Amino acid sequence: MRQIVLDTETTGLDPDEGHRIIEVAGVEVQNRQLTGRHLHLYVNPDRDSDPDALAIHGLTTEFLSQYPRFEEVADQLVEFVKGAEIIIHNAPFDLRFLNAELGRLGLPAFESLCAKVTDSLLYARELHPGKRNSLDALCERYGISNAHRTLHGALLDSELLADVWLAMTRGQDSLLMDFADDVTQTASDAAGAFDASALRVLPADADELAAHEAYLDTLEEAAGKPALWRALSAAQQVHEDSVA
């Protein structure tokens, strides 16, 4: 599925108090690869940012005054996200602002424009319970450099979050990456034409076994629970011992 990793910057914390979006950006991911395609828009909010918000993003009223208003760029945003899975860190915050902006224009809610919205903060909390799961904390945890992030910016943050998301979710398909290719090759063979007994059996050596155990340790740390492989292996060993 096509995915868009999205972020916004705003003039404050609450759209019900008249705060507005001032920056929105998203980067495209297709088949777990960054495509290089992105959207980046600065927006003139026709108001000042709260001092606390300004200290975070650094986008002054004077700087933003040269850019179009949200109604002038809404079509670009709608077209970019249409039909995609949208990944947002702390999604409820951004969705409130996006829906407020779209609502002013009589447009449908943001969630109805895309296939689904995934909250990467919620995902991270389930994966790492009891730990800090801010974007900075996740960058540190997954070894992603954010040294150039002195201020929050929608494009930079969406790029960092895309790297974090791919790192957080790599365990979902890593064990099955080669399986589809194997199935395709097997299906292409005529029925009964493949003789498994002709295959050479090459036992893993000590280094390979150690690397396998280290990989399972990594999976268990990321998932916060025992790896299925180890559970099945232990059950198989118990069965073999019982019939020996």
**pTM here?**
0.69
User: Is 239 exposed, middle or buried (CB count within 10 Å of its CB: 0-12, 13-18, 19+)?
Assistant: exposed
- Give me the domain span that covers residue 220: 206-244
Residue 17, domain CATH? 3.30.420.10
In a domain, 178, yes or no: no
| Percent with pLDDT over 90 in the chain | 65
| Residues 125-155 pLDDT 10s | 999 999 999 999 999 999 998 877 666 889 9
Write the pLDDT tens digit of every residue in 173-202: 444 444 444 444 444 444 445 455 555 666
Q: Side chain identity at 197, as an amino acid letter?
A: S
- Pick the closest to residue 151 from 160, 143, 142 (CA basis): 160
Q: Last residue of some domain: 126, 152, 170? A: 170
Give the pLDDT of residue 65: 97
Q: How distant, in Å, are the alpha carbons of 119, 165, 170 from that of 39?
A: 19, 18, 25
What pLDDT score was predicted for residue 216?
77
Is residue 212 among the annotated active site residues?
A: no
**CA 42 vs CA 9, 55, 66, 79, 92: distances in Å:** 9, 17, 9, 17, 21
Number of domains in the chain: 2
| Mean residue pLDDT across the chain | 85
Check residue 179 and give its pLDDT.
42
Residues 230 and 124 grouped into a single domain: no
Catalytic hit among 38, 128, 152, 212: 152
The DSSP 8-state label assigned to residue 189 in this structure reads S
What does the pLDDT average to over 88-104?
A: 98
For 195-223, write each residue's pLDDT tens digit.
Answer: 555 556 667 778 778 777 877 777 777 77
Q: What are phi and psi of 238, to 5 degrees?
A: -60, -40
Strand partners, 134: none
Same-domain pairing of 145 and 226? no
The residue from 121, 143, 170 where one domain ends is 170
Residue-wise over 191-224: b if at least 16 C-beta within 10 A, else e? eeeeeeeeeeeeeeeeeeeeeeeeebeebeebee
Specify if 221 maps to a domain. yes
Contacts of 212 (CB under 8 A, 6+ apart): 204
